[in-house]
Structure formats: structure tokens, C-alpha cells
Amino acid sequence: MTDNVIVIGSDHAGYSLKQVLVAHLEEKGWRIVDVGTNGAASVDYPDFGAAVAHALKEGKAPRGIVVCGTGIGISIAANRHDWIRAGLCHDITSARLCRLHNDANVLALGARLIGEEVAKDCVDVFLATEFEGGRHQRRVDKLGFAESM
């Protein structure tokens, strides 16, 4: 049973926000699979986007969170994997809509662009919102996810 598990990963620029989010999620009862990075030393965001993607493929959790300085690099990295739909969000509306319309399975955040409270709100909304299905299912199917996982 992995419904209460979330995978999280970041590069060095996202590290401190990742730690804030881990504490926030643990407080709410989530179990965390943290794929790193584990400190402020410079690392490469593609490695951590890939680590989150592979952890989802291995069934460790249904959803993940990736964080880098802008959220751009690590969302591109995660989205290179065709079972990943990572949505880069800066506010709760995009966090809600990436679940409702895109069935995003990864939330991407930019630690240098948004504050901790906004990031926590994005995470809460992302995890609480169900995919709407219907016409959106057809569009999500066209992204190729269904064939690859």
C-alpha cells in the first residue's frame, strides 16, 4: 500500500525547500521516499529528476515532488520519462489544475521563485485534488502515458 507515500527529490538549489516540505508532509502523516540530494553541495538536477521518475516506475509511490532553483530543469528532467507528467507550479491554482486536467503525477517547484508557504500550499492542493477525467482523459491518453506503465 503506497497511497500515503510520496517520493521527493531536489538538487542543491532545492535542498532546503525539500527539507521544509518533508517536515510538512511528515507532520501530516505522509511517508516520504527521499531520493536526495542530501545537502547544499552542488549536484546536477537531471540526476534527481530521473531518480524520482524511476522511484515512481518502481511503484514506491503514486506521486512525486521535484524541486530545483526554478523548477524548470528538474521538471524537464522528470518529463523525459514517458510515464511522468510533471507540472511546474507557482501557485495553488496551477497545482489544482495540473491534477484536475493533466493528471500530473509529479509536482515541480522552484525554490528560488516561490516562498515556503506557497510551496506548502501547492503541495497540499496537489495531493488533495483528484483527476477530473472525462474529456481530459482522452487528452492525457494522447500524451502516451497509458502505453508505458
Q: What CA–CA distance (Å, rounded) separates 35 from 25?
A: 15
CB 48 within 8 A of CB 18: no
Q: 136 catalytic, yes or no?
A: no
Question: What's the closest the beta carbon of residue 149 comes to ligand RB5, in angstroms?
Answer: 25
Kindly tell me which of 37 and 103 has the beta carbon lying closer to ligand RB5. 37
Binding track, positions 19-58, relative to ligand RB5; x by CB under 6 A: --------------------------x-------------
The CA–CA distances, whole Å, from 14 to 2, 3, 29, 43, 112 equal: 25, 25, 22, 11, 8
| SS3 category, 12 | helix
Kindly tell me which of 2 and 46 has the beta carbon lying closer to ligand RB5. 46
Q: How far does CA 49 lie from the centroid of its chain? A: 9
49 closest CA partner among 108, 122, 5: 108
Count of residues in contact with ligand RB5, rule CB under 6 A? 8
Question: What's the closest the beta carbon of residue 103 comes to ligand RB5, in angstroms?
Answer: 24
Binding track, positions 64-93, relative to ligand RB5; x by CB under 6 A: ----xxx-xx--------------------
Binding site for ligand RB5 (CB under 6 A): 11, 13, 45, 68-70, 72-73
